[in-house]
């Protein structure tokens, strides 16, 4: 009886596609390259892929890593794993083998599905993590032969049973394990459930004014919760059409908007800037666009004004949040863009947001405090890390680690990051992780890593390095060292050699002073010696 009632009430991530396919079976769901599939075809492909995973020993609660650029297959496995109750572990394709190995090992992934071009890196990561056997799915994007020990996943979704697997998935069964850098040297695994995700989808739909009539181009990495769960999965939920591109190439993107008559886009400010600066911007017919969204970092006010001027029919939203909020927390709406420029807006419909001091007490209007949230969006916690979960979710609130100020009517402005997170090109970089990599170079006495304002990247990773006495280190030495240890977006774009670092009386490095002192570097090219 209990299982029967639970099945009747089931509303998990995997159910969303099936229900949309019942409502809009013949409507175009996904366009990816030459492939165009309806919602009915999408649902069948997902069911087949789920059965293929099950036939290979992958079951409810298991973890499977996914390492790929955006593609049709990414969409299939995002929902196939959900239908099985399998925990998907999206992996940043810019990470190196060592970084991926940590995620694979920490998550306990029983296998990996990888784009063919990334399979050699995946193999190194699996070997480093000590993973033998298990699922190894090959996504054939470049057309080369399937590697030894791998299986072409296209046969998984093209063939097999068309009905959904018989799996009961609970509202709070983990379905996603999203790894975020935070401030630690190692990333944390954020556990998200159907309840977290679907509650967040509802907030996106209502406050972001999304609908089944949307035609959206998805270019940001789908391993990122913003593109995957604020936009792509919401489109599936609603029955909107998704055009998937492998990346945000401005020329391809502008041509796609014109060809597909796209109505909706989401980008961090860096990509919006690249569109505005591209020579095709004024040559392409962009009149179909009606909705634009930005997030991941603050939008420069001058760029905002230019967007509103050059895309006068497009209404803009600012989405702010964290992976742990699945990820939306607050929204700045279209009519507030200029009046509240720079604000992160107010709490989304399913979110309560406040500012507190170090003791958890509310701070006054206009005072700086830590941004905390209470919401069904919130994650289940951090995988295999009870201590960090307890720290982040203390007093019944999720503590974001961001600092902000709030107006009397609830408008939030993010003023600093308590955890020294650097947001560069829409990616999060933990300063401590970069610092620890630099410290591995012989001859480094001290290093401070921080972000400085940059016209393209919004923030550029910058390192100030103090050599040990007797060592003649150069900026090039530091850059060459981190090149072997860190993904490209984590490497300092500017390296400064210094005699000392500014500190307060207790010995804490004054990064704010360093940001002010070296802010001019964003106008220069290359590292500094």
Provide the CATH number for the domain around residue 58. Answer: 3.40.50.980
How high is the pLDDT of residue 477? Answer: 96
Average pLDDT score over residue span 501-506: 68
For the stretch 249-297, pLDDT in tens is 999 999 999 999 999 999 988 789 889 999 999 999 999 999 999 997 6
* 269-277 helix and 301-310 helix, angle to the nearest 10 degrees: 50
**269, 220, 270, 215: which is closest to 243 by C-alpha?**
215
Give the Å distances, CA to CA, from 245 to 69, 82, 106, 286, 292: 9, 23, 30, 17, 17
Give Cβ neighbours of residue 52 (< 8 Å, ≥ 6 apart).
153, 155, 156, 157, 160
Average pLDDT over residues 500-518: 79
Domain containing residue 103 = 1-170
Does residue 353 lie within any of the structural domains? no
137-196 pLDDT, tens digit per residue, is 999 999 889 999 999 999 999 999 999 999 999 999 999 999 986 444 589 999 999 999
**What is the SS3 assignment for 321?**
strand
Establish if 162 belongs to a structural domain. Answer: yes
2 confidence band (pLDDT: 50, 70, 90): low
Closest to 232 measured CA to CA, from 423, 48, 80, 70 = 70
> Which three-class secondary structure state does DSSP give residue 292?
strand
Res. 526 pLDDT band, cuts 50 70 90: very low
Domain boundary residue, one of 135, 150, 170:
170
Which of these, 521, 502, 401, 528, lies nearest to 452 by C-alpha position?
Answer: 521
Residue 84 lies in a domain: yes
The 10s digit of each residue's pLDDT in 396-425 is 999 999 888 999 999 999 876 666 678 888
The single residue listed with the structure tokens 């005699």 is 499
What CATH number does the domain containing 426 carry?
3.30.300.30
Between 105-109, 210-214, 442-446, 489-493, the lowest mean confidence (pLDDT) is in: 442-446
Which among 139, 170, 201 is the end of a domain?
Answer: 170
Kindly give, in sequence order, each residue whose CB lies less than 8 Å from that of residue 277, ignoring residues fewer than 6 positions away.
Answer: 250
| Cis-peptide, bond into residue 120, ω within 30° of zero | no
pLDDT for 115-138, tens place per residue?
999 999 999 999 999 998 899 999
Q: Provide the pLDDT for residue 419.
A: 62
pLDDT at 192: 98
Does residue 42 register a pLDDT over 80?
yes
Query: Is residue 125 one of the residues assigned to a domain?
Result: yes
Judge whether 257 lies within some domain: no
Number of neighbouring beta carbons within 10 Å of residue 26: 10
- The predicted model gives 369-385 an average pLDDT of 97
Distance between CA atoms of residues 96 and 142, nearest Å = 20
Q: Which residues pair with 28 in a beta bridge?
A: 38
Indicate the number of domains in the chain.
2
Residue 429 confidence class, pLDDT cut points 50, 70, 90: confident
Angle of helix 269-277 relative to helix 250-260, nearest 10 degrees, comes to 80
Report yes or no on 502 lying in a domain.
Answer: yes
Is there a contact between 187 and 79 (Cβ–Cβ < 8 Å)? no
Mapping DSSP to helix (H, G, I), strand (E, B) and coil, where does residue 383 land? Answer: coil
Q: What is the mean pLDDT of residues 51-73?
A: 98
Global confidence as pTM: 0.85
Confidence of residue 527 (pLDDT cuts 50, 70, 90): very low
d(CA 192, CA 65): 15
Residue 10 in any domain: the answer is yes
* Confidence grade of residue 528 (pLDDT, cut at 50, 70, 90): very low
Q: What is the mean pLDDT of the chain?
A: 93
What's the mean pLDDT in 497-508?
Answer: 75
Residue whose token pair is 């009915």: 40
Q: Is residue 63 part of a domain?
A: yes
pLDDT digit string (tens) for 325-341? 999 999 999 999 999 98
Q: Are 240 and 364 in contact (CB under 8 A)?
A: no
Domain boundary among 109, 136, 170: 170
């Amino acid at each position: 009886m209990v299982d029967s009632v639970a099945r009747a009430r089931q509303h998990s991530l995997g159910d969303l596609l099936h229900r949309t396919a019942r409502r809009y079976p013949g409507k175009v769901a996904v366009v990816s390259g030459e492939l165009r599939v309806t919602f009915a075809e999408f649902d069948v492909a997902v069911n087949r892929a789920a059965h293929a995973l099950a036939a290979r020993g992958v079951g409810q609660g298991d973890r499977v890593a996914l390492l790929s650029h955006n593609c049709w297959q990414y969409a299939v496995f995002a929902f196939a794993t959900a239908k099985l109750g399998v925990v998907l572990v999206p992996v940043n394709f810019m990470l190196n083998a060592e970084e991926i190995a940590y995620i694979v090992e920490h998550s306990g992934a029983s296998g990996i599905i990888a784009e063919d071009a990334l399979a050699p890196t995946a193999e190194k990561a699996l070997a480093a993590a000590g993973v033998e056997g298990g699922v190894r799915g090959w996504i054939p994007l470049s057309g080369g032969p399937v590697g030894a020990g791998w299986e072409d996943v296209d046969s998984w979704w093209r063939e097999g049973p068309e009905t959904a697997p018989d799996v009961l998935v609970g509202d709070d069964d983990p379905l996603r394990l999203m790894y975020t850098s935070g401030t630690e040297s190692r990333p944390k695994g954020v556990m998200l459930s159907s309840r977290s995700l679907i509650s967040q989808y509802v907030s996106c739909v209502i406050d972001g004014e999304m609908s089944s009539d949307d035609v959206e181009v998805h270019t940001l990495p789908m391993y990122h919760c913003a593109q995957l769960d604020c936009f792509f999965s919401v489109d599936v939920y609603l029955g909107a059409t998704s055009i998937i591109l492998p990346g945000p190439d401005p020329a391809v993107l502008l041509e796609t908007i014109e060809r597909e008559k796209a109505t909706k886009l989401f980008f961090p400010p860096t990509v919006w800037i690249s569109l505005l600066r591209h020579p095709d911007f004024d040559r392409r017919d962009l009149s179909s666009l009606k909705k634009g969204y930005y997030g991941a970092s603050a939008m420069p006010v001058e760029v905002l004004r230019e967007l509103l001027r050059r895309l006068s029919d497009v209404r803009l939203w600012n989405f702010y949040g964290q992976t742990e909020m699945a990820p939306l927390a607050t929204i700045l709406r279209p009519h507030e863009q200029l009046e509240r420029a720079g604000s992160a807006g107010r709490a989304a419909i399913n979110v309560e947001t406040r500012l507190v001091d170090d003791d958890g007490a509310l701070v006054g209007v206009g005072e700086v405090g830590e941004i905390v949230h209470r919401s069904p969006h919130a994650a289940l916690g951090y995988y295999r890390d009870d201590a960090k979960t307890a720290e982040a979710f203390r007093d019944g609130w999720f503590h974001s680690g961001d600092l902000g100020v709030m107006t009397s009517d609830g408008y939030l402005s993010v003023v600093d990051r308590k955890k020294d997170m650097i947001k560069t090109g829409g990616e999060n970089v933990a300063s401590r992780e970069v610092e620890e990599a630099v410290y591995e170079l012989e001859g480094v006495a001290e290093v401070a890593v921080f972000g400085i304002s940059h016209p393209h990247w919004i923030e550029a990773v910058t390192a100030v390095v103090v050599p040990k006495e007797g060592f003649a280190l150069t900026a090039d030495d530091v850059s060459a060292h981190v090149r072997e240890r860190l993904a490209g977006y984590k490497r300092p774009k500017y390296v400064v050699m210094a005699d000392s670092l500014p500190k307060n009386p207790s010995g804490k490095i004054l990064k704010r002073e360093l940001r002010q002192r070296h802010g001019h570097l964003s106008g220069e090219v290359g590292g500094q010696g």
